[in-house]
Structure 1
Amino acid sequence: TDAQCSVEGWVVVATGVHEEAREEEVLDFFSDYGKVRGLHLNLDRQTGFVKGYALVEYEKLTEAEAAVSRGSGKRFLGQAVQVDFAFIK
């Protein structure tokens, strides 16, 4: 893999996240692939809704790889999400 580790861990970016997704729901979805060390949902300041993506941090490369390979294309709140590494060489 060409994935790069951040200072904190292995970060994946999920796109296609439903705008009404709650942090707990996103955390639950990504916990299927490993222990989530960090989660960042960018919210629209005017609407308060998610902007459509999430950054998810795992401690281990194998967990992040599982999220990318098994989470990508999976339906979450009725929408297919795409998952890829946030940092690559």
Structure 2
Amino acid sequence: FFFDMAGRYDDEDDFRGKAAKGRGVNEKSERSQGGYDSVSQAAGVGPARSVEGYIVMITNVHEEAQEEEIHELFSEFGEIKNLHLNLNRRTCFVKGYCLIEYATLKEAKRAIEEMDDQEFMEQNLQVDWAFLKGAMTSRKTRR
């Protein structure tokens, strides 16, 4: 075949389809039909839903806080699906943040509203959404 300066092929025969070979070529599967679980892609700005629920991020967590204490403090707002309180490997103290996943938007929203700027172990917790969807035009920073 030949490629001219206008970006066209000289030999039209090169565009003929080739026979597909291999196992499963002619089978229809859920994957080819697009049968995937998906997260809601509704328009607008707001909290993004994860696969199992809504994730809240807690910052300014005291380095000596225990997972059980955090769980007890935040479980009053609803069932906690997941709680991640990451430790510094070198010091074995909390890194200063925690991620909590609630099943419903209502539970997560209530936790944010009631626990943001609340004192825990002589430090004020900062509680907000871990993930937001849509445009982020006026996100407040906490440094």
What is the TM-score with the length of structure 1 in the denominator? 0.95
Q: Answer with 15-24 or 30-39: which moved more.
A: 30-39
Structure-2 separation of matches of 1:30 and 1:8: 17
User: What is the match of residue 96 of structure 2?
Assistant: 52
| Counterpart amino acid of residue 95 in structure 2 | K
Higher strand share: 1
Secondary structure of residue in 2 paired with 1:68: helix
User: What is the match of residue 65 of structure 1?
Assistant: 109
User: What is the match of residue 8 of structure 1?
Assistant: 52
Structure-1 separation of matches of 2:122 and 2:79: 24
| Counterpart amino acid of residue 53 in structure 1 | Y
* Deviation of 1:29 (Å): 0.9
Q: Which structure is larger by alpha-carbon Rg, 1 or 2?
A: 2
Q: Provide structure 1 residue ranges, at least 5 long, that are not aligned to the other structure.
A: none
Q: Provide structure 2 residue ranges, at least 5 long, that are not aligned to the other structure.
A: 1-44, 134-143
- Indicate yes or no: 2:78 matched with 1:34: yes
User: What is the match of residue 85 of structure 1?
Assistant: 129
User: What is the match of residue 18 of structure 1?
Assistant: 62
Runs (4+) of structure 1 moved beyond 4 Å? Answer: none
Greater relative CO, 1 or 2 (CA 8 Å, sep 6+): 1
The count of corresponding residues between Structure 1 and Structure 2 is 89
* Deviation of 1:8 (Å): 1.7
RMSD: 0.9
